[in-house]
Amino acid sequence: MRIDLRHALFIALLALGSALLALAAIDWFAYAFAGVDHLGYERRLHAYYYFDHLDRHDPLDLTAGRAVLVFTGLGLVTAIGAAALARILRPARTLLLLAAVCTALAIGFPVWTTWELHTTFADIPHVTDPDTGLRSLARDIPYELWRQLRVQPLGVIATALLLPTLAVAAVRTSTRRGASRAHAALTAAALALPLTVAALVLTLLWLSHGDFAPTGHERWADLIGTTRPAPIIAALLVALFALFVPRGERRPPLRNLLLATLLLALGVSAALSTAPHRRTIDTLYPLRAPGEWPFYWQPLLAPWRFDAPPAAVCVDPDHVRSLITFSLDESGEVVVSTHEVHARVHDEPEMTGLLATLFADLERHEPSDPVVLLVDRRIPLSVLTPALARVPWLTFSPILIAGTITQPMPTAEGPAVAVILCVSGQLGLADLGDPTLPADATWGTITDDPARVHPVSQRAPR
């Protein structure tokens, strides 16, 4: 048996190009799972804020989801029709073309929604360190993200169904035009098999981890790492089979080799462009669990702007009355914030307005509901203590310390950190006026001293 080296090379180029595209598709689509934890890892751990009703988002509520279903049905019907009418060349070719168009559209819609997801992840509100380029990410999940996300599993299942069906129809139609059945089957397999394997990998990903469970979900990254070589293996098997196909009467023209080479170049480009997504998936976990629930509302904090007390672990504060923030502005002046009202400590009219907001808040809560203080560690107690003395109810409400857990997170856009705000301890009111404190004591002097920070209870130690 004489080996047809040109045809074997043609098949190898097609298979490898398709496999590299499949590899890029696996990492590009699966990156959506990483993006979800970029936005709300701690929320997923406690199954709240959209995670608790994830299954309520029906992909068929979206135009893209309905379009995928329609074009999948049309693609399957026309592909099967082309295969059944292969003896009648003209209608078979027309049906095959329609099946190819429907397949492209059915795949195109989930690609489009996933592209929107990637845009959402890239545009996460963030603050960038001007010196290092490190980004501090917001800890919030856009509502529309869930709806977009649910279109992806529908699309990968459609791909897994359509590509093999279209390949079979293409083989039957081409053999009726005089092509070698073996050569036609190898060409179809080289193009469709790696991409079908990728679709099956993503289908398995959604079936096993698509519920975004609080525990065990991180294993999705191991699944991707284990199954990622599958399209390459499929491509190598197809290329190996091509070596055992005897030389046919018609050899592939040079233009076909050129097209196969272009496909390979496209695959190499796709694999290289998704390398950051691949690296993120492989290095994202393990992430540090914050402990109990963090705050429902997470401000966008940057460690290089706001020196918050570090939290070893989050604790459940039960019911919180108010979060009062003391920060430093660009001029170094202390600014107080609560309920989106801001006041400079030394600006009496602004402080009067802020205190009025706090007094109004007093009527909506029980006296025992705690107050949470988020204070920059650099703020002097000589400024902080007089300001706190003007805050109502601090004499009888527990005072909780807000701290942050800073979590490094690799992303496709570069290194980033997630700053998670939560309650980390409780403060005795007497600790603020302790006469043994140095004259230049700051909030950090208090929060860095384990003897002054107490475990959280419903009533502050006195």
What pLDDT does residue 459 have? Answer: 47
What pLDDT does residue 273 have? Answer: 96
Same domain, 275 and 354: no
Report the alpha-carbon distance of residue 342 to residue 328 in Å, rounded. Answer: 12
Report the alpha-carbon distance of residue 92 to residue 90 in Å, rounded. Answer: 5
Tell me: the pLDDT tens digits for 212-234?
888 889 999 999 999 999 999 99
What pLDDT does residue 150 have? Answer: 83
What pLDDT does residue 275 have? Answer: 96
Same domain, 408 and 260: no
The answer to whether residue 460 sits within a structural domain is no
The answer to whether residue 303 sits within a structural domain is no
Tell me: the pLDDT tens digits for 150-178?
888 999 999 999 999 999 888 888 776 65
Same domain, 25 and 124: yes
Exposed e or buried b per residue across 394-429, where buried means at least 16 C-beta atoms within 10 angstroms of its C-beta = beebbbbbbbbbebebbbbbeebbbbbbbbbbbbbb
What pLDDT does residue 321 have? Answer: 62
Same domain, 110 and 202: yes
Same domain, 191 and 327: no
Same domain, 441 and 351: yes
The answer to whether residue 433 sits within a structural domain is yes
Tell me: the pLDDT tens digits for 3-50?
567 788 888 999 999 999 999 999 999 999 999 888 888 888 877 656
The answer to whether residue 256 sits within a structural domain is yes
* Number of independent structural domains in the chain: 2
Tell me: the pLDDT tens digits for 373-388?
999 999 999 899 888 8
pLDDT band at 398 (very low <50, low <70, confident <90, very high): confident
What pLDDT does residue 372 have? Answer: 86
The answer to whether residue 232 sits within a structural domain is yes
Same domain, 263 and 352: no
Same domain, 220 and 358: no
The answer to whether residue 431 sits within a structural domain is yes
- Of 259, 283, 307, the residue that ends a domain is 283
Q: Over range 113-118, report the average pLDDT.
A: 88
Q: Given a cut of 80, is residue 181 above it in pLDDT?
A: no
Q: Given a cut of 80, is residue 193 above it in pLDDT?
A: yes
Tell me: the pLDDT tens digits for 121-151?
888 888 888 888 889 988 777 667 777 788 8
Q: Given a cut of 50, is residue 202 above it in pLDDT?
A: yes
Same domain, 224 and 346: no
* Residue 109 main-chain phi, psi, to 5 deg: -65, -50
The answer to whether residue 300 sits within a structural domain is no
Same domain, 242 and 337: no
The answer to whether residue 311 sits within a structural domain is no
- Of 283, 308, 340, the residue that ends a domain is 283
Q: Please give the model's pTM, rounded to 2 decimal places.
A: 0.86
pLDDT band at 460 (very low <50, low <70, confident <90, very high): very low
Percent of the residues in the chain that have a pLDDT greater than 70, as a whole number: 88
Q: Over range 106-112, report the average pLDDT.
A: 92
Same domain, 38 and 156: yes
What pLDDT does residue 194 have? Answer: 96
What pLDDT does residue 453 have? Answer: 86
pLDDT band at 294 (very low <50, low <70, confident <90, very high): confident
Report the alpha-carbon distance of residue 315 to residue 252 in Å, rounded. Answer: 68
In terms of residue numbers, what domain contains 215? 5-133+140-283
- Residue 427 in tokens: 């403060």
Same domain, 426 and 348: yes
